[in-house]
Chains A and B, each alone.
Chain A
């Protein structure tokens, strides 16, 4: 067994008992990154020298007996998380050389606990995409099949877990951007409740939907990482001051007394038969563990994708206005005045999908259309949220597929944005409702393509969600399967 096979919690134990040093583990990861990153395109920015320096500092802290839970653990971050002094591209040409002067809150917490930062991970530009093909720096490849997508937008965050190129990572999830790639790559991806993790220093795509979350090998690792990054932050007015439970203490081995709901709208005809079969067996496992299975309904599910593409694009059209070439990032100069500079800079800096969403959102907010689109979508969002609140009066968690299909081929859906948008059909409602969702491996489609099970929890019910996920992983070994590189 190699050092890079250890889970985060195993590493933590071995580092604390000094059975291993952070430098040793970090070096093992750096070697693996050097060997495989070129083929997989997972890291956009590597930190071979600085990561070792981080590791040395972590070892000193451990030696001083001051280890925090993540001290010395080699982690990687989606390139949407702002890192002081480290290039933060957001997968965009526009920010290709942008070096932020500050750390976001989640990053600050990781740095504070002396985690080792291996580098920044590939992603769809500004978080917009479901395949990582919208990265300005080329798609991140799926370690299980390099001709297939890793999913998106946090493709790098999920692929680095499957490829063992980091012990754990952070991604962001606006409509499924953590859970869908985790599903495609056989990783555990958690989208926390809106307000659970600070968004300060997370480059905004759609502010009312974005949330940072861990991508890990096991549910237990997810609990460990969430424990460090969760909590109220004064710097984010939308973060919520609600106590952070001990997530590891909430992990359980059986599901006696747990009511698991199956929303009928998530088990539809268009579902890939292998996904259908795999998720059905996962539900059998939950039942065998003692869970009571309840059939429920989320009646407004059909409107979620349309609702999402109005709200997310509207917010994005405003959030991305700051990339104007005036203060930072790329500026394309030339003939003409200010308007021409804006047009050239944004024209050359943004990719097609980003431009498409800015245009959609601008349209939805325009006078004369606002009521029919943006306002209507907000009303629908309220109904969708209410669906979930109603259902959680009957059950503790929901179990659903994460994505309608396993990872598709690179280029397969590139020509049809609508097809691509439908790959988030089961994850989007969770963001609209503002609650939490967990994606965990539950089997493989033929050809060894991972398939994920989604568990959806009540607002601030991450502990229950992690509890159910952990029990499932105690009974199965899907999460222990490894992609061969």
Chain B
């Protein structure tokens, strides 16, 4: 990347809320139904129909605002954003312009050097989504476009950051943190392929030391973290080239093309919008009293940062483990539940970050779909702790649990995997091993103590893994010194 310029990035993120119904009518927000099956006079924009605000949408906006330390406006208003497009049934989008619900917040992101950086959140506002256009796919319909209004009127939050990010990596860190947060808050499912979490990036560059911002380009249509990084990096290079060759960056909207990894200008008709915002006379000002805000605050789920601190403090697991486990809301709940079911926290952390995660990665599935649930994992970890099975045997048990969905105790019983802790039985095996390996015994006694591992291995092998390794260790040492 060109190092003569400082990169300045601000992000606008559209978060689709997980409310059961739309923002201004009672239609379902479920994804994937037949076109226009989830519509009514309101979301079709029929003459005479009127919007009624969904209270849950406001609640979710307040949640998100509190989690980002925003000021929640005691009075906010909805505005109409006027433009014509076939996927916009009323000819305007109901959004917020002046007096949005949340303002003046921030999100702290971790930097590579271990410090953290505060990214300002300018505002968060509520708005309705538009429908979808589909172009004809058969020869008979090749010239036609079809309008599906199932998505029209679906609730969105637009989260607008300050231009506080200085690299594509910072932008990605911010986005990932925001993504984690809205999922943890249970306001958004975070599904980027379905468009539940979409991002526009405002990118500009300026010579180092210059105070005023350079002219920015708005990059639209980016739906994965990887593409956002690509789009920003491409755009920074492009702007640097423009400046280097004596040109001027013009303020414009650019579309990211994921196949070429480039951005292209949308200049022309689409650009020349005057949205003629004005307060929507069909909706009264939204008044939020302090009690409501406090009720939402009290019900706020634990956010990743707080959870991480709690895992270290209450469970005594390393900060690294806590960081990994809290990256994903489902994973951290899985961990919490496993520990609550009686598992040793460090053991639980090791197994979740190790075996569980590995198998999920292989299967390409999510932890919510894991065949071993927290209770089953905890059940197995308890058998390690009470020495019913060894850590080694546990791998076999876990494997079987994953395949069959059966609990650990049943598997241990059925397969006879119970660890041998009977010292008489172990002693007999040890005696055999010592008798059969006289040269090694002599070497050990002559000072080659690293041979202990060899003996342990032999004993474990002879016991088919069922001997308690600690007991084997102790008794071997004793016997070999005799």
Contact = CB atoms under 8 A, between A and B. Distances in A.
Interface of A: 81-82, 88, 90, 95, 98, 100-102, 104, 199-204, 206-208, 234-238, 314-315, 317-318, 320-322, 324, 326-328, 338-339, 342, 362, 365-367, 370, 374
Contacts of B15: none
Given A207-B282, A237-B51, A321-B91, A362 B147 contact: no
A321 B280 CA distance: 14
Contacts of A207: 281-282
A327 B45 contact: yes
A203 B48 contact: yes
Nearest to A367: B274
Contacts of B51: 237
A204 B48 contact: yes
Nearest to B282: A207
8 contacts: A102-B46, A200-B50, A315-B281, A318-B80, A321-B90, A321-B92, A322-B89, A339-B269
B45 A314 contact: no
Given A235-B50, A237-B50, A365 B147 contact: no
Nearest to B40: A102
A82 B89 contact: no
Nearest to B149: A327
Contacts of A101: 41, 46
A88 B47 contact: yes
B472 to A, nearest CB: 74
B333 interface: no
B172 to A, nearest CB: 34
Nearest to A202: B48
A200 B84 CA distance: 24
Contact of A322 (B47, B276, B283, B284): B47
A206 B278 CA distance: 13
A121 to B, nearest CB: 16
In order of increasing CB-CB distance, the 8 nearest A-B pairs are: A321-B91, A208-B281, A207-B281, A365-B276, A82-B48, A203-B47, A201-B48, A322-B45
A245 B278 CA distance: 35
A101 B49 CA distance: 11
Nearest to B24: A237
A405 B358 CA distance: 87
A314 B282 contact: no
Contacts of A321: 82, 84, 90-92
A90 B84 CA distance: 22
Contact of B82 (A102, A208, A318): A318
B46 A100 contact: yes
A234 B269 CA distance: 40
Contacts, number: 99
A237 B41 CA distance: 16
Nearest to A209: B281
A95 B47 contact: yes
A204 B41 CA distance: 14
A365 B90 contact: no
A370 B277 CA distance: 9
Contact of A237 (B46, B80, B86, B283): B283
A98 B92 contact: no
B82 A365 contact: yes
Contact of B276 (A88, A327, A328, A367): A367
B199 interface: no
B46 to A, nearest CB: 7
Nearest to B91: A321
Contact of B284 (A204, A206, A238): A238
A357 to B, nearest CB: 15
A100 B89 CA distance: 15
A329 to B, nearest CB: 8
Contacts of A98: 47
B92 A318 contact: yes
Interface string B90-129: 1110000000000000000000000000000000000000
Contacts of B84: 321, 324, 342
B58 to A, nearest CB: 13
Given A237-B283, A321-B91, A366 B276 contact: yes
Contacts of A317: 82, 276
A204 B91 CA distance: 14
Given A318-B80, A321-B82, A201 B49 contact: yes
A234 B50 CA distance: 10
Interface in B9-48: 41, 44-48
Nearest to B283: A237
Contacts of A201: 48-49
Contacts of A203: 47-48
Contacts of B278: 314, 318, 365, 370, 374
A339 B80 CA distance: 21
A207 B90 CA distance: 14
A208 B50 CA distance: 12
A318 B283 CA distance: 14
Contacts of B91: 318, 320-322, 324
B53 interface: yes
A199 B281 CA distance: 12
B52 interface: yes
B49 A200 contact: yes
A106 B24 CA distance: 21
A113 to B, nearest CB: 20
Contacts of B283: 237-238
A203 B46 CA distance: 9
Interface string B269-311: 1000010111001111000000000000000000000000000
Contacts of B277: 365
Given A204-B48, A327-B89, A318 B276 contact: yes
A238 B281 contact: yes
A202 B147 CA distance: 25
Given A100-B41, A365-B277, 4 more contacts: A100-B46, A204-B282, A322-B45, A327-B44
Contact of A90 (B46, B47, B49): B47
Contacts of A342: 84
A347 to B, nearest CB: 14
B67 to A, nearest CB: 28
A208 B82 CA distance: 17
Given A200-B50, A318-B92, A326 B281 contact: no
A342 B278 CA distance: 23
Nearest to B145: A338
Contacts of B80: 318
Contacts of B90: 321-322
A44 to B, nearest CB: 15
